[in-house]
Each structure stands twice: as C-alpha cells, then as structure tokens.
C-alpha cells in the first residue's frame, strides 16, 4: 500500500480541524489552575491538554504560582523511584495551601496515580482526586463530582479515583489544542506493549494503542493554523504507530511521516521516543525522501552488552542496532544520534559495562538520557539479584556521561563554518538586535535579525561557538513568506 492511498486524509483532516466545536463556557468566573508536570514529554503534552480542557469546561486559567491556585494538579512520573518519591514530598508542600483555604482542590494524575491509586489518598488524605494518563479527559466530571460530594452525606459520596484504561477514548473528549509559539507536541499513540523487564510503562499507561490517522492529521492541521512550524510526534513507542484510517486500513509510522510532511506549514518533524525493533526499512527510506524529518534521532538502546539486553528483554542485539544506524547514516551522513542508557542493571559486571562504553564510543552519540537502574515494583527485573555496589554504578554513570558530553562538544565545535537550517523562535534576551532559533541538531543559534522574521526558517552560517548548546552565525537566506 502506498502513502497515496491515504492522501485524502489530509483534506479530511483540514475539514475536521475547521469544524471543531467551540466548547468554551462564558458563564463562569475565572479560576486559577496550577499544574506541576514531572517526567517525559508525554506528560508535558498531557498537562497542556488538561489546561485546554479545564479552560474550556470550567474557565480555569493557568497560573505559575501554586499559592494562588484554586485547583492544583500534579502530573506524575513513576519511571524511576526517585521521581515517585518526589510526589509525596511535593504534596506535603501543597497541604499548606489547603490548610489556608479548604476550598482548594488537589488532584494527582499520571503514572504514579495509575500505579498507586487509592494509596495516594491513604498517604495524603487531603488529595481530592486521583486520575490516570488515560482518564485525564474526565477531569471536568471529577471536579463537578467533587462539588457534589461536598454536599452529600458520607454514605453517598462517590470515589474520585479513576485510573482505568478506557480504550484511547481520551482524545475524543479533548478540545482543540491551543498553542503559543512555533513548536508543538502531538501524541500519536499511548502505552507500550514491549514489556522490557525493567519498565513500568505497560502497567501504568497500558498496552499500545494508536490514535486514528485522521485525528492525528486534524490536530496537526489545527496547530499549523495557529502558526506551528515544527511538530514532535509523541509516544512511548512512537515508531510502533499503527493508526486506523478512515476506511479501515492501517497506516504505519513511516507512512504517517510522509503525510505529515505534506501538511502546508510543517517545516520540521521530530519524534520521540522510539524503539530499535520498530525502526523499519520504510522509516529509513523516509529519511531519504523527507527534508522536514530532522537529522537528529533519539533511539533508546539501554545497554551496549548483548547479555544485558537479553536480561532486559529488549529482543534485539547490539548488531541489530548498529546495522540500522549504519543504514540510516548512508542516507543521512549528518545524522545526530541520541539514546537512553540504563547503568547498573542486574548482571552488568565490569565486562558488560566495558562493552557499553565501547559501544557508545563507536556509535558516536551526541546526547543521552542515562540513569542508574531503578528497581520498579511489579516488573520482572525487580526479582533479579543485583550485587553491584551503588558507588560503582555512580562511577560508571559518570563515565558514560563524560564520553557522551565530549562527543557532544566536538559536534558543536564542528558546526563552525557550516550552514544550518534554523527555526527562528524569539528575540535574544541578552542582545537586543539578535534573534534565537534552533537547528535540526537542537543547538540554539543566535544571529542579528529582525523580529518580524520570527516563525520562519532561515539558513545561518555559523561563525562562533558560544557554548556546548549555543552557537552564533550570520543570515544567508530567509524563507519567503507563504502567500
Ligand atoms: N521507547 C523506549 C525504549 O525503547 O525503551 C521506551 C522509553 S521509556 C518509557 C523511557 C526511558 O526510561 C527508557 O528508555 C529507560 O532508559 C528509562 N527507564 C525505564 N525504566 C527504568 C528503570 N527501571 N530504571 C532506570 N531507567 C528506566
């Protein structure tokens, strides 16, 4: 099946985007909403959708000051134990807001909510509602129910814990996204069915479910109508996307990328976070054809040792990963690669760690999210014996970070004299005559320019390296304004 089969989806998506109902209620006074977001980009996306939703349903306006909020929501992460513990320490701080004003409403959502459920209210009785990543669209009902509960006798109060996994219905109940700026996240699938032995995601976010193709395209069309030029497609296993089309076919991730690249206004496409097993030949071919697809790939591998990968139940070897990256670099020699590494996984001895370090040097990573293994309750790996001392793990982690940081600095330095494509995003805070934008490889680029150019792409020749993440250059070419 070729991508042409799905092209009518783009015009259908345009129609859907322009026919979204306006759910805004004008009969309610402004109230303040504070959302604290922990964890991944999917949580960031979910938080922005919660704000859109409660803005439309109850007129809530976001505040950055928890002290003035009427509703405080914590969107939590349970990927590592440290993140999980942060929830209760932060809730302890929120308690005083409720003591000062008993009408303040406190809600806990996200993966810790999914995992802990009613335990949250047992540990923090002042929490009013608990909702999961798949039930955040029910927040307006939970808030209304909370009001009704206040007036009801104890025996008639309804539980405000909703951490079920309804089959991806949440997107049907969320309003059109509102964005400021030129970049936006778009969640295209939820959950993960890979069941890596260390990971809680299948238990907290559920199994993989893809959003229907037309819904994804409609959301992107609507974002471009608000000025967005760069989208980051999100999913815990994003390249495993298999979205149903209008007439019941299945569109895979590479086909989706081709369709997104045809949406007028889209100048850049990123995605995160992907899995090596789903990194298909079709996807490599998309890199050959689609200039909007950035030369920057985040492809988690977790370890450079086959023995550790097997214990992690990754179902691939390092050779599989190396082969895919080699083929990708044939079509995109300038590809910048980033990854996730888990250090100190049970069974990682000196030999396995040395293999990981060598692998990192060979693949020449530009960036990584590397953390010491954290035992997660209920995961198969939590049963594995782990006899590596914590301080050995810490030394290993800093070695990994050092190697990757050095390679990242080299890559920034290599930009000197090169011409890069930049999305111009804002005026520089420090230099009144300069603008700031981002390059494909995520480096910030500053250059002298006119603020009317913001939101356009430009070709910039790099003339100075300011720091590991900031370079400076001169304008060579400015994208023409579309009519
Ligand atoms: N698609 C990704 C993959 O291929 O693994 C999954 C992304 S996962 C939700 C986010 C990252 O969190 C993982 O890549 C892993 O490095 C890290 N992570 C997950 N569980 C962990 C654990 N128990 N301890 C430390 N890091 C963990």
**pLDDT digits 0-9 by tens, 281-322:** 999 999 999 999 999 999 999 999 999 999 999 999 999 999
Beta carbons of 283 and 254 less than 8 angstroms apart: yes
pLDDT tens column, 34-71: 999 998 899 999 999 999 999 999 999 999 999 999 99
Closest ligand 1 atom to residue 238 Cα is 1
Predicted confidence at residue 162, as pLDDT, reads 86
Residues with CB under 6 A from ligand 1: 79-80, 196, 198-199, 201, 236-237, 273-275, 300, 302, 340, 342, 371, 373-374, 376
Phi and psi angles of residue 314, each rounded to the nearest 5 degrees, phi first: -85, -20
Q: What is the pLDDT of residues 131-173, one digit of tens each?
A: 999 899 999 999 999 999 888 887 887 888 988 877 667 777 7
Out of 238, 340, 374, mutate this one to test ligand 1's pocket (max ligand atoms within 8 Å of CB): namely 340
pLDDT for residue 4: 55
Ligand 1 atom closest to Cα of residue 340: 16
Residue 477 CA to ligand 1 centre (angstroms): 40
Q: Is the pLDDT of residue 21 over 50?
A: no
Q: Can you tell me which atom of ligand 1 is nearest the CA of 300?
A: 4
pLDDT digits (tens, 9 = 90+) for 368-380: 999 999 999 999 9
pLDDT value at position 23? 46
Ligand 1 center–CA 368 separation, angstroms: 12
If you average pLDDT over residues 116-125, what whole number do you get? 91
Confidence class for position 14, pLDDT limits 50, 70, 90: low
Distance 28 CA to ligand 1 centre (A): 42
Among 164-178, 425-439, 440-454, which stretch is predicted with the lowest mean pLDDT? 164-178
Alpha carbon of 272 to ligand 1 centroid (Å): 12
The pTM score is 0.91
Pocket probe mutation, ligand 1, options 43, 46, 196, 199, max atoms within 8 Å of Cβ: 199
Query: Tens digit of pLDDT for each residue in 228-268?
Result: 999 999 999 999 999 999 999 999 999 999 999 999 999 99
CB of 162 within 8 A of CB of 131? Answer: yes
CA of 36 to the centre of ligand 1 (A): 21
> How many Å lie between the centroid of ligand 1 and the Cα of residue 268?
26
Atom of ligand 1 nearest to the CA of 375: 23
Q: Is a pLDDT exceeding 90 seen at residue 477?
A: yes
Ligand 1 center–CA 237 separation, angstroms: 11
Helices marked H in 6-79 — which ranges?
A: 8-18, 41-58
């Amino acid at each position: 099946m070729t991508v042409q089969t799905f092209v009518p989806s783009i015009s259908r998506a345009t129609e859907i985007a322009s026919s979204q109902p306006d759910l805004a209620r004008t009969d309610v006074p402004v109230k303040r909403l504070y959302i604290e977001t922990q964890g991944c980009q999917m949580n960031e996306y979910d938080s922005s959708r919660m704000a859109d939703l409660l803005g439309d349903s109850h007129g809530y306006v976001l505040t950055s000051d928890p002290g003035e909020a009427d509703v405080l929501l914590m969107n939590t992460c349970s990927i590592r134990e440290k993140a999980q513990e942060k929830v209760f320490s932060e809730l302890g701080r929120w308690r005083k807001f409720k003591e000062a004003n008993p009408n303040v409403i406190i809600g806990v959502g996200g993966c810790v909510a999914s995992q802990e459920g009613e335990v949250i209210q047992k540990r923090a009785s002042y929490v009013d509602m608990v909702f999961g990543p798949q039930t955040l669209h029910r927040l307006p009902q939970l808030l209304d129910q909370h009001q009704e509960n206040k007036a009801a006798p104890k025996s008639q109060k309804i539980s405000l814990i909703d951490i079920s996994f309804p089959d991806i219905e949440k997107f049907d109940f969320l309003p059109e996204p509102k964005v400021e700026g030129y970049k936006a996240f778009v969640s295209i699938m939820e959950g993960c069915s890979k069941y890596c032995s260390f990971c809680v995601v299948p238990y907290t976010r559920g199994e993989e479910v893809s959003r229907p193709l037309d819904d994804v395209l409609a959301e992107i069309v609507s974002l471009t109508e608000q000025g967005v030029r760069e989208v980051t497609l999100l999913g815990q296993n994003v390249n495993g996307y298999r979205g149903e089309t209008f007439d019941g076919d299945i569109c895979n991730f590479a086909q989706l990328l081709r369709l997104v690249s045809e949406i007028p206004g889209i100048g850049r496409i990123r995605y995160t976070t992907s899995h090596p097993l789903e990194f298909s030949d079709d996807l490599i071919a998309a890199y050959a054809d689609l200039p909007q697809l950035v030369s920057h790939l985040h492809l988690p591998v977790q370890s450079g040792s086959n023995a550790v990968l097997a214990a992690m139940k990754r179902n691939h070897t390092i050779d599989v990963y190396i082969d895919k990256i080699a083929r990708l670099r044939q079509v995109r020699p300038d590809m910048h690669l980033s990854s996730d590494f888990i250090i100190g996984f049970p069974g990682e001895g000196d030999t396995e760690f040395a293999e990981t370090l060598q692998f990192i040097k060979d693949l020449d990573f530009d960036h990584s999210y590397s953390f010491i293994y954290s035992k997660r309750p209920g995961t198969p790996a939590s049963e594995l014996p782990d006899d590596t001392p914590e301080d050995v793990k810490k030394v290993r982690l800093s070695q990994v970070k050092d190697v990757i940081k050095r390679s990242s600095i080299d890559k920034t330095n290599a930009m000197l004299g090169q011409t890069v494509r930049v999305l111009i995003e804002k005026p520089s805070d420090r230099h009144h005559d300069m603008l700031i934008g981002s390059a494909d490889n995520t480096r910030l680029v500053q250059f002298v320019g006119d603020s009317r150019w913001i939101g356009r792409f430009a070709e910039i020749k790099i003339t100075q390296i300011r720091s590991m993440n900031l370079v400076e250059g001169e304008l060579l070419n400015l994208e023409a304004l579309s009519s």
